[in-house]
Amino acid sequence: MIRSQKERRTKTLARPLLIIAVVALFLSLSVGSGILQARQSGKVIIFVIDQITLEDLDNTHLTNINSLIEKGAIGAMNARVPNKDSLSPGYLTMGAGNKTDGINQKPGSKTLNKPLEGFGANETVDGRKATDIFYERAGERPYADGAANLSINAIITVNEENDFGAVPGALGRALHGADLQTAAVGNIDTTTGYGRSVIDIVMDDYGLVDYSMLGQGLIKEDDGFPTGRRTDATRLLADFERVYDKADVIAVDWGDTTRVRQEDDYLTPPRENLYIRTSLSRADAFVGNLLKKIDLGHDLLLIVTPQPSPAAFKENNLMTPAIMAGRGIEQGLLVTPTTRRSGVLVNVDIAPTVLDYFNIDTPPEMTGQPLRSESFDGDRMDHLIRENRSWVEVRNVQPPALRVFALWCIAVMLLFMVILLVPGFRKYAAMCRPLLLSIPVAPLVILLLPMFLQNTAPIVLLELALGTAVFVSLISWRHKDPVGAVGVISLTVWAALLLDIFAGGILSSNSILGYSIVGGSRFYGIGNEYSGALIGAASLGSFYIIDRFQSAGIENQAVKWLVAAALGATAFVIGYTGLGAEFGNLLAGLAGFSVMSLGYIRGEIRKSDLLWASMGAAVLVIALVVADVSRGLNSGSHVARLVEAIRAEGADPLIKVVERKIMMNIKLVQYAFWNWVNVASAGVLIVAFYGLKNLLKLVFQSHKYYKYALTGGIVGAVAALLFNDSGVVSMALSFMYLVPATLYLMSYEVTS
């Protein structure tokens, strides 16, 4: 009886234990198969065809590449790098997911006599084994079937000295951290030197890849081809197949297009084009053979161009083709949160895209974002080529046209200051007033110019002159009072810029006063130039509204509060990631708008009020930061990425951001023509406050709220300088509204 009870108890306990064991076994098998499935989900192949343009690929004979484009997505990739004269910066940037510098190659620079990159463990360099050289330099040995970048320590040193925070080999490090294997195949060796840049895409931060086929056996002698050598496509394919079954991420360099470009100084344009077409035809055949080996149902294939050709670089054509096809990629254009523009990506997006394929989080040191595809109706290649031509035209027109505009602003402001300073010249003040109005009107005209032809600087300057003359004539004819002309211009610019922001920057993004797609520092939002103009225009526009009510004998506090709310909303629009996305100018706007709002509402600016205003501004800033962070890193927000980096690394990322902004402003102070606008503006304001203080007092007496608009505007302009890495530009555009308006109002006190 006792035994049977024990047996029953044992059976009773055994049943749940058996169930638990079965469930545990099932879960372990499920998890294990899940891991296996994740590891066997596919591979990433990065095929490099370097130094070609979108136009080069616009060829109906490239049947395999065109087939990939038809099946997958294509985009124009901004290939800008920190230093084009360094070794392999485009490849390094792709592998770091951040702007990365290479070893300086300029004559006389402090560098290695022979910068050596990827070498297989068994290769020899100047009679020595590569593995021994790497051990000598790094204290490590390459993997038996792998390769090492023999210059990795020099590359790391170079990037420690710049302010981008790049980690060379970050992609390979992240892949190795997830137990994934990397491989590099191909070279651009010539008779005069080695070319092993392909390793830079997939190496880790020790300079190592797991598998490699980089040796000179991949090339064949060809006296009919530039440099006398070209890629042996049969051997390259065989070596790719050799590593395909072993590695998870494989970078393959075609090489031949680079060899052609290396000889471009010695080739006539027709011959160079012939060799490029021949190289691309061979590359297309190679792609066809690749597609027989890989499975686009599981694998991901990227075709990229790390560097523009020398001729393209001279023309500021820095947008190179990028094609992506395979698992998860639909037919269309490539898109990324980095740019938020259809068909536009950046070289820093390649590494995050590879990591995203394997569900690996993008590390904080990478500034790029994973690529996606979106549908597009029409000829995608034709669309990108036309868009790129427009971007290049804007980029080439910007410096000369804006330099002339800046010189015009300086000349007019200084001329009018002299007119007011010299009593005998004051009679000319009324005659010259339209010249002052041309300064704040010009940014509005420039905003509208993308609707017209703007392919050369002379055409743009002619259109700018005519458009400005028409606007100024109409405003001068319609508004004879001191405040009317300045106020209407400012209100119009204020409204136009806000509308353009809500429309996605349709005009400003294609304006010579906006950011440049080719320049690559910004791809969305409002930019430093127009955010500075918006701060200046809002300062004067808000004054105009209150002054109109005061002139009508209405001192309405509700109106003043509404104006203050409009200014606060403008600051929000400037800074919010989904709109203006200018965090530095958000802070500048809050600083300046708070001061002028207190003046409007209180009739004075008290320290206690400034404290409360600062607290309110801080609450708004915190709310925006929280909103950005809540959207996640894939939103493309610099604020969200900075917060994440601070969480991961402490205060170092914030310190680097501050240092970068300071260094950028120092560079702009030294070299940018906008700084001369700031110097002239500051000089005019100093003269106004001291040399012409009696006239300025009369202005403040006639328009009692102007002193708050001017004071707040100056605070905003100075804050823009302090809070932005291109603050010199924002400050100059703000002054282009504040200074001419002050001189304009003073001129009426002279002639009244």
Q: pLDDT, tens digit, for every residue of 435-449? A: 999 999 999 999 999
Could you tell me the end-to-end alpha-carbon distance of the chain, in angstroms, rounded to an integer?
Answer: 122
* Spatial CB neighbours of 632, under 8 Å, sequence gap ≥ 6: 640
Which residues in 187-221 are b (16+ Cβ under 10 Å) and which e? bbbbeeebbbbbbbbbbbbbbbbbbbbbbeebbee
| Whether pLDDT at 739 is above 90 | yes
Write the single-letter amino acid at 521: S
Judgement on whether residues 646 and 685 belong to the same structural domain of the protein: yes
Question: Nearest CA to 732 among 715, 722, 720, 746?
Answer: 720
Share of the chain above pLDDT 70, in %: 84
In a domain, 35, yes or no: no
- pLDDT band for position 4 (50/70/90)? very low
Q: pLDDT, tens digit, for every residue of 153-194? A: 999 998 887 767 899 999 999 999 999 999 999 999 887 778
User: Which range (32-46, 209-223, 683-697, 705-719) has the least confidence?
Assistant: 32-46
Its pTM stands at 0.85
- Computed over every residue of the chain, the mean pLDDT equals 85
Q: pLDDT, tens digit, for every residue of 272-322? A: 999 999 999 999 999 999 999 999 999 999 999 999 999 999 999 999 999
d(CA 80, CA 90): 8
Count of CB atoms within 10 A of residue 170's CB? Answer: 25
Mean pLDDT confidence for 449-468: 87
For 128, which DSSP code? Answer: E
Identify the burial level of 443 via C-beta atoms within 10 angstroms of its C-beta, where 0-12 means exposed, 13-18 middle and 19 or more buried.
buried
Which has more pLDDT, 572 or 28?
572
In a domain, 32, yes or no: no
User: Which range (22-26, 153-157, 239-243, 571-575) has the least confidence?
Assistant: 22-26
Judgement on whether residues 418 and 495 belong to the same structural domain of the protein: yes
Q: Containing H/E element for 592?
A: helix 583-602
Count of CB atoms within 10 A of residue 286's CB? Answer: 22
- pLDDT band for position 109 (50/70/90)? low
In a domain, 3, yes or no: no
Which of residues 333, 349, 377 is at a domain's end?
Answer: 377
Place of tokens 């998870």: 248
* Spatial CB neighbours of 681, under 8 Å, sequence gap ≥ 6: 413, 732, 735, 736, 738, 739
- CB contact at 8 A, 349 and 338: yes
Place of tokens 């490539």: 334
* Spatial CB neighbours of 540, under 8 Å, sequence gap ≥ 6: 440, 486, 487, 489, 490, 709, 713, 737, 738, 741
| Whether pLDDT at 94 is above 70 | yes
- pLDDT band for position 213 (50/70/90)? very high
* Spatial CB neighbours of 444, under 8 Å, sequence gap ≥ 6: 471, 489, 492, 493, 496
- CB contact at 8 A, 491 and 544: yes
Tokens of 80: 């800008």
d(CA 214, CA 187): 6
Judgement on whether residues 317 and 420 belong to the same structural domain of the protein: no
Q: How many CA atoms lie within 13 A of 112 on its CB side?
A: 17
In a domain, 482, yes or no: yes
The DSSP line for 1-33 is: -HHHHHHHHHHHHHHHHHHHHHHHHHHHHHHHH
* Spatial CB neighbours of 117, under 8 Å, sequence gap ≥ 6: 87, 88, 149, 150, 151, 194, 196, 197, 199, 200
In a domain, 233, yes or no: yes
| Whether pLDDT at 233 is above 50 | yes
Number of domains into which the chain is organized:
2
3-class state of residue 105 by DSSP: coil
For helices 429-448 and 727-751, what crossing angle results, to 10°?
150
Judgement on whether residues 338 and 487 belong to the same structural domain of the protein: no
Angle at 262 between CA 255 and CA 167, to 5 degrees: 65
Judgement on whether residues 260 and 280 belong to the same structural domain of the protein: yes
pLDDT at 24: 38
- pLDDT band for position 126 (50/70/90)? confident
Judgement on whether residues 361 and 445 belong to the same structural domain of the protein: no
Write the single-letter amino acid at 520: G
Question: Nearest CA to 166 among 133, 205, 129, 196?
Answer: 205
- CB contact at 8 A, 401 and 465: no
3-class state of residue 79 by DSSP: coil
User: Which range (62-71, 141-150, 597-606, 705-714) has the least confidence?
Assistant: 597-606
3-class state of residue 101 by DSSP: coil
What are the φ and ψ backbone dihedral angles of 649, each rounded to 5 degrees? -120, 0
Q: How many residues are recorded in the chain?
A: 752
- Say what the alpha-carbon torsion angle 363, 368, 369, 375 is, to the nearest 10 degrees: -160
Question: Nearest CA to 692 among 422, 355, 290?
Answer: 422
| Whether pLDDT at 108 is above 90 | no
User: Which range (89-98, 525-534, 595-604, 675-684) has the least confidence?
Assistant: 595-604
* Spatial CB neighbours of 41, under 8 Å, sequence gap ≥ 6: 298, 327, 358
Judgement on whether residues 745 and 659 belong to the same structural domain of the protein: yes
SS3 labels along 152-211: HHHHHHHHHCCCCCCCCCHHHHHHHHCCCCEEEECCCCCCCCCCCCCHHHHCCCCCEECE
Share of the chain above pLDDT 90, in %: 56
Judgement on whether residues 341 and 472 belong to the same structural domain of the protein: no
Give the range of the structural domain holding residue 419, as residue numbers without chain letter. Answer: 387-751
pLDDT at 660: 61
Mean pLDDT confidence for 534-559: 88
pLDDT at 412: 96
Judgement on whether residues 322 and 421 belong to the same structural domain of the protein: no
Judgement on whether residues 201 and 340 belong to the same structural domain of the protein: yes
- pLDDT band for position 384 (50/70/90)? very high
pLDDT at 167: 93
Judgement on whether residues 660 and 718 belong to the same structural domain of the protein: yes
- CB contact at 8 A, 595 and 605: yes
d(CA 511, CA 443): 10
- Return the CATH number at 201: 3.40.720.10
Judgement on whether residues 338 and 450 belong to the same structural domain of the protein: no
Which of residues 348, 377, 406 is at a domain's end?
Answer: 377
In a domain, 25, yes or no: no
In a domain, 538, yes or no: yes
Q: pLDDT, tens digit, for every residue of 184-205? A: 999 998 877 788 999 999 999 9
| Whether pLDDT at 9 is above 70 | no
Mean pLDDT confidence for 5-10: 40
In a domain, 31, yes or no: no
Q: pLDDT, tens digit, for every residue of 691-735? A: 898 999 999 999 989 999 999 999 999 998 888 777 889 999 999
Which of residues 351, 377, 403 is at a domain's end?
Answer: 377
For 371, which DSSP code? Answer: -
Mean pLDDT confidence for 93-109: 82
